[in-house]
Structure formats: C-alpha cells, structure tokens
Structure 1
Amino acid sequence: MPEFTLHDETSAPEASRPHLASAKQRMGFITTLNAVMAESPELLAGYNALADLFGKSSLPARAKHVVWVTASVQNGCEYCVAAHSTLALKSGLDDAAVTALRESKPLNDDKLDAARRFTASMVTGLGWVPDEEVEEFLAAGYTKRNVLDVVLGLGMKTLSNYTNHIVHTPLDPAWQQQEWRRSSRPQPARASLCGHRQDT
C-alpha cells in the first residue's frame, strides 16, 4: 500500500502551509486528514474553502451535521463518520440522533430526517434524485437554496471521503471514542414515501 506523508507546517509544500495554519486555527489542531491533503496544496485549499462556505450556508446548523454524517456513512468513510459524529455530539445533537445517523436509521425529528433521506438519496443516486423526493425535502420546511446547500456539503464530503479511502487516513485521538466501521455492504438509502425502495 502506498504510504502518504502526514505533513505539518514544516514538512508540507510551501503553498499548503497557510491552509494548514487556517485549518489548525479552525479545529484547534492539524487533523490527519488535513495533514495528508497537504501533499496537494490545491486539494487542501479546495477542501478548506468548501468547509468554510458550507459552514456559512443557509442550511440550519443541525442539518449540516446530518449531511456530514449521512454522506460519510453512505460513502463508507470510517474516518469522517467518527470525526463528524464527534462534532455532531459537541454541537448538541443528541446521542440517539447520532446513533441513528451512523446506522442509517430514521431520526425522531421529522425535519432532520428529511435532510437525512435527501442526503442519502443524493449520494446513492449520484445526484439523480426523483422530483418527488426533492418535493418531500421542501415540504419538510427547507428551501430551494437549502437543496443546493446540500450539494455544496456533498462536494466537501466527496473530497474528504475519497481522500480517506485512498490514503487510509489514521484516526485522530480526538475522534477515537466515535470510531465506526463500515459494513461489508452499504446500507440502503431509504424506503421512499412513494412506495419504492432505493438501494445502493
């Protein structure tokens, strides 16, 4: 297996160093994800830019965590599920909700569950979501702008999930209490209210 360097501010390419510094300021430490991304200054810059933009997007804060965890579960990203489970709990999302997200199960909160279902359908459908599922998301109280916010969040997670798959990024100590292992087969995205089942 090819080994990728875990860079810090001294070993990273010069162009990556400001992005590592800003990521450290945002997170409090240089994550191993940012450390491996630093090999490509452009990837690190792109990921940090998308993270910043998604954080500023109009999607409600708790729904952002739903997008992050759901996308990472659907993509089978062990690193990101652990990281975003930790961050979701710190944000105030309760244990039951985070556990449900990690297990691809419905949430007790109808609006948040609409975000979970829509995100899962986006990932498993490669962006091809039936119109009725978009309407369900809107009917739950989200806006058309929120629909596109989810696309932004998925762009962010695609960069991190795919990087972790290739690099086998070691888990930071900060995320280890929420360690997660993907199943041998991805979970179905949802059972649609329209009566059809959409599998991965």
Structure 2
Amino acid sequence: MLAADNVLAKGNLSNKDQEAIKVLVSELTGCDYCLAAHLMIGKSVGHKAETLKALRAGQSTGDAKLDALAHFVRQLQQNAGTLAQAEVDAIRAAGYSDTQLVDICLGIAVITFTNLFNRINDTVLDFPAAD
C-alpha cells in the first residue's frame, strides 16, 4: 500500500486533493487514526481548518472544484452499483480529467485499506485526536 500511495503522490492530483480524499474517506469509515493523521497533513499542505471541517460535515467549502471532488468521493463511497453518468459528467465539468479520475479511485483504495487495517488493529493514536 505504501508503494501505491507513492504512485498516487506522483500522480495527477494536487496534494490538497489527495488529502481531501483521505480526510473524507477516513471520516466516512470512522477511522480515528487516519482521520487525525490526514487532518494534520491536510493542514500542512495548505487546507484551512474550516475547509477540512466542511469536508467532514458534507458542507460547501466555498471552492467549487473541491466541493465537486468531495461530492464525487461521497457518491463512490456511499452508493453501491454503477455511478450515474451525470456524476461522472459533473466531476469532469468541474475540471478533473479521466487520468485524475483514476487517481481519485487509487486515493480511495489506498486510504480505505489503511482505514481497515487501523480499525482492525485499533492502532494507538500517538498524536492529537481529530476534533
């Protein structure tokens, strides 16, 4: 998974987009360790605390492209079956390329694995918890 995360880091999504995905998926899965870690990393790559809070709550961040990303990730995470074409069209219209859609899927896969691993092992939180 670390190798996959390195591929993601060298991919076509900004660090801010990568961390938004990781924060959002960690929030949705309830992984306290990953959520705390990626909130901290999210701030270090330039997200404001208010932006991260809005992402977690499913509220508008005030950034249309970021909001489109968050909506798309939520749709993938919370709904089974084939994604509606309108959802794919919307993320493309927000400015994400097909290559970036692949990277979004990779980001979700990497953090989902990490979330599951930490939830199974009840990884000790060795830095400040998410608030």
- TM-score tier by shorter-chain length is over 0.9
The gaps in structure 1 that reach 5 residues or longer are 1-46, 181-200
Work out which of the residue numbers 129, 147, 155 in structure 1 matches 2:109. Answer: 155
Work out which of the residue numbers 92, 99, 110 in structure 2 matches 1:145. Answer: 99
- CA displacement at 1:60 relative to structure 2: 2.2
Work out which of the residue numbers 84, 94, 117 in structure 1 matches 2:71. Answer: 117
Q: How many residues are aligned here?
A: 131
Taking structure 1 as reference, are residues 88 and 141 closer, same or farther at Cα in structure 2, changes over 3 Å only?
Answer: same
- Determine if contact 1:51/1:156 at 8 Å carries over to the other structure: yes
Deviation string 1:16-69 (CA, Å, 9 cap, x unpaired) is: xxxxxxxxxxxxxxxxxxxxxxxxxxxxxxx11111011111012211111111
Work out which of the residue numbers 53, 60, 79 in structure 1 matches 2:33. Answer: 79
Correspondence for 1:95? 49
Taking structure 1 as reference, are residues 48 and 132 closer, same or farther at Cα in structure 2, changes over 3 Å only?
Answer: same
Taking the aligned partners of 2:23 and 2:7, their CA distance within structure 1 comes to 18
Identity %: 30
Deviation string 1:108-136 (CA, Å, 9 cap, x unpaired) is: 10001111111111111247321111110
Which amino acid in structure 2 is aligned with residue 110 of structure 1? A
Which amino acid in structure 2 is aligned with residue 141 of structure 1? G
Taking the aligned partners of 1:49 and 1:172, their CA distance within structure 2 comes to 23
TM-score with structure 2 length normalisation?
0.92
Are 2:127 and 1:167 equivalent residues in the alignment? no
Taking structure 1 as reference, are residues 127 and 152 closer, same or farther at Cα in structure 2, changes over 3 Å only?
Answer: farther
TM-score with structure 1 length normalisation?
0.62
Are 2:59 and 1:108 equivalent residues in the alignment? no
Ranges of 4+ aligned residues in structure 1 off by more than 6 Å = none
- Determine if contact 1:73/1:104 at 8 Å carries over to the other structure: no
RMSD: 1.4
The gaps in structure 2 that reach 5 residues or longer are none
Larger Rg: 1
